[in-house]
């Protein structure tokens, strides 16, 4: 559709060239992102393309492909500025291209079987990114990631086949299978919803299905952590917002609030739990891994809240906030891990208590670290504020007095960010660190990531118009 087969052919050819001529893999990775962006711009699908439940899945998918491509390009530019040493890891960029091609298929297919294949394809490059270039416990982290996500994938595949055989379908069309879900027995509908929800919540991830994430993020090389954290979680978010919502609304459970409230509860628990655990971390990289879980918990809350409300201003804010959070999180978490990597390179440690007074020795790097943490806390002026405040206001529409639990999570989130800043860049300088220095190329690379975060924080309408949330929302929220 819209020449998608030609794009995939081009991406496959470029991937093969990267495999054969590894020295050019980095540049070809950037070229892959640019070609994908041009494809989305030139083949801009209309709102009427593949409408299901008044929600144009294809319309939103193309824009997620666009955002994923932008992130890949930004990451590639950052690595060119940051790390000449990374030239020896050309294979890493081959896997990055394979990951990007898998995401293009995942976000644009209308076929559930192909969706599952693309979902599994993503496991391959991620597994090797961690297993080949990871830290001391890379084998354990890679295998744990593979087992967790593959188990979720198996349940999703069983759910797809359940719909296919129970509905007597002749193909795996998303439109057909989702629109006829309520025609099968209730027990099978329950299994379908469970299978998809499990796969999406693992990939997001949500507590208690999250334990693969800290190990994977910590053991992966910083370049891999940036890519995994900024792109993989979008798969779970995409699944919840664009597939699970439609599945639930087509099922016999639509109108019941039990399943939506379970999602809301999981989101709130994830927000509070991740903040509490992060408070006790001494490793800055592990701590920010839990921050990523906290960011994505807002999407789980928004999904459940939207299904509870169904329509109205609060539902609109929830959905808009969740979509915005997908983009914002990808940019912010990329900046955070890129900056934490620069801090470790300069100081030789990730241990928070071993730092102190970095602003006295590396002022520009300290400024970037401060900016990335403020963005993570969702201070006004940064893109994180827009998505989270939208979800917060929308959540009040159905939580009322229980809204206080989200506020507790936000306060705890701010607490560990402030505590870390106090122990790292402020206060007296720890002389045991020696005479540390900052790399200006790394500062420039971080600024490349910081600029869009500030631009979207000041002018969020860029995303509003790009995703056409207002137009889609009028159909979804009837």
Position 417 in a domain: yes
| CA separation for the pair 57, 200 (Å, rounded) | 16
Strand partners, 55: 52
Position 94 in a domain: no
401 vs 277, residue with greater confidence: 277
Give the pLDDT mean for 332-347. 88
| CA separation for the pair 125, 116 (Å, rounded) | 16
Position 439 in a domain: yes
Taking Cα atoms as reference points, which of 189, 201, 199 lies closest to residue 163?
189
Q: Over the stretch 342-370, which tens digit does the pLDDT of each residue have?
A: 888 888 888 898 888 888 888 899 999 99
How would residue 278 be classed by pLDDT, with cut points 50, 70 and 90? very high
How would residue 471 be classed by pLDDT, with cut points 50, 70 and 90? very low
Whether the per-residue pLDDT at 199 is higher than 50: the answer is yes
Contacts of 289 by beta carbon, 8 Å cutoff, 6+ apart: 213, 214, 217, 218, 229
Number of domains in the chain: 1
Confidence (pLDDT) at 98: 87
DSSP category for residue 208:
T
DSSP category for residue 348:
S
Position 452 in a domain: yes
Confidence (pLDDT) at 75: 63
Confidence (pLDDT) at 276: 94
Strand partners, 173: 111
Q: Over the stretch 407-434, which tens digit does the pLDDT of each residue have?
A: 999 999 999 999 999 989 988 888 888 8
Q: Which helix (H) or strand (E) holds 319?
A: helix 313-347
Measured between its terminal Cα atoms, the distance across the chain in Å is: 28
Confidence (pLDDT) at 405: 92
Whether the per-residue pLDDT at 263 is higher than 70: the answer is yes
Q: Over the stretch 98-116, which tens digit does the pLDDT of each residue have?
A: 888 888 888 878 889 999 9
Average pLDDT over the chain, rounded to whole? Answer: 83
User: Distance of CA 318 to CAs 99, 264, 277, Å?
Assistant: 29, 12, 26
223 vs 367, residue with greater confidence: 367
312 vs 302, residue with greater confidence: 302
Domain that holds residue 398: 269-478
Confidence (pLDDT) at 65: 64
How would residue 327 be classed by pLDDT, with cut points 50, 70 and 90? confident
| CA separation for the pair 76, 94 (Å, rounded) | 12
With a pLDDT cut of 90, the percent of the chain lying above it is 31
Position 252 in a domain: no
Q: Over the stretch 28-79, which tens digit does the pLDDT of each residue have?
A: 877 877 787 777 667 655 433 333 343 445 555 555 666 666 666 666 666 5
Position 354 in a domain: yes
Confidence (pLDDT) at 19: 82
| CA separation for the pair 398, 467 (Å, rounded) | 25
Q: Over the stretch 167-195, which tens digit does the pLDDT of each residue have?
A: 888 888 888 888 888 889 999 999 999 99
Position 256 in a domain: no
Confidence (pLDDT) at 406: 92
| CA separation for the pair 209, 183 (Å, rounded) | 31
Confidence (pLDDT) at 255: 82
Confidence (pLDDT) at 305: 92
Please write down the HEC assignment for all residues of 354-402.
HCCCHHHHCHHHHHHHHHHHHHHHCCCCCHHHHHHHHHHHHHHHHHHHH
Position 60 in a domain: no
- Strand locations in 256-374, DSSP E? none
């Amino acid at each position: 559709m819209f020449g998608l087969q030609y794009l995939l052919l081009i991406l496959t050819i470029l991937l093969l060239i990267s495999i054969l001529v590894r020295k050019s893999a980095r540049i070809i990775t950037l070229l892959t992102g640019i070609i994908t962006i041009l494809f989305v711009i030139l083949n801009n699908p209309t709102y009427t393309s593949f409408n299901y439940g008044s929600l144009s899945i294809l319309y939103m998918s193309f824009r997620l492909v666009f955002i994923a491509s932008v992130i890949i390009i930004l990451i590639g530019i950052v690595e060119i500025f940051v790390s000449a040493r990374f030239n020896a890891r050309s294979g890493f960029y081959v896997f990055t291209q394979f990951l990007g091609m898998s995401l293009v298929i995942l976000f644009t297919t209308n076929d559930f079987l192909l969706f599952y294949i693309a979902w599994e394809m993503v496991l391959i490059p991620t597994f090797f990114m961690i297993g080949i270039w990871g830290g001391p416990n890379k084998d354990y982290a890679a295998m744990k990631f593979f087992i967790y996500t593959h188990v979720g994938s198996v349940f999703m595949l069983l759910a797809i086949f359940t719909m296919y055989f129970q509905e007597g379908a002749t193909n795996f069309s998303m439109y057909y299978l989702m629109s006829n879900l309520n025609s099968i027995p209730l027990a099978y509908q329950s299994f379908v919803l469970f299978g998809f929800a499990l796969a999406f919540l693992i990939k997001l991830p949500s507590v208690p299905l999250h334990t693969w994430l800290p190990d994977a993020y910590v053991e992966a090389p910083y370049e891999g952590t940036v890519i995994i954290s900024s792109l993989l979680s979008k798969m779970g978010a995409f699944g919840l917002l664009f597939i699970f919502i439609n599945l639930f609304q087509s099922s016999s459970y639509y109108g019941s609030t039990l399943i939506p409230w379970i999602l809301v509860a999981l989101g709130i628990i994830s927000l509070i739990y991740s903040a509490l655990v992060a408070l006790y971390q001494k490793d800055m990289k592990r701590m920010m891994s839990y921050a990523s879980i906290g960011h994505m918990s807002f999407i789980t809350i928004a999904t459940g809240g939207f299904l509870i409300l169904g329509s109205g201003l609060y539902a609109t804010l929830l959905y808009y906030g969740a979509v915005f959070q997908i983009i914002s999180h990808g940019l912010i978490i990329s900046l955070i891990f890129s900056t934490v990597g620069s801090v470790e390179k300069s100081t030789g440690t990730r241990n928070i208590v071993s730092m102190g007074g970095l602003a006295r020795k590396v002022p520009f790097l300290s400024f970037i670290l401060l900016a990335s943490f403020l963005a993570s806390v969702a201070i006004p002026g940064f893109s994180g504020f827009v998505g989270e405040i939208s979800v917060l206001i929308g959540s009040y529409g159905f939580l009322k007095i229980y809204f206080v639990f989200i506020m507790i999570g936000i306060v705890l989130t701010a607490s560990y960010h402030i505590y870390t800043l106090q122990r790292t860049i402020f206060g007296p300088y720890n002389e045991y660190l020696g005479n540390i220095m900052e790399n200006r190329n790394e500062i420039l690379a971080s600024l490349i990531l910081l600029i869009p975060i500030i631009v979207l924080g000041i002018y969020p309408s860029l995303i509003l118009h790009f995703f056409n949330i207002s137009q889609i929302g009028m159909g979804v929220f009837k």
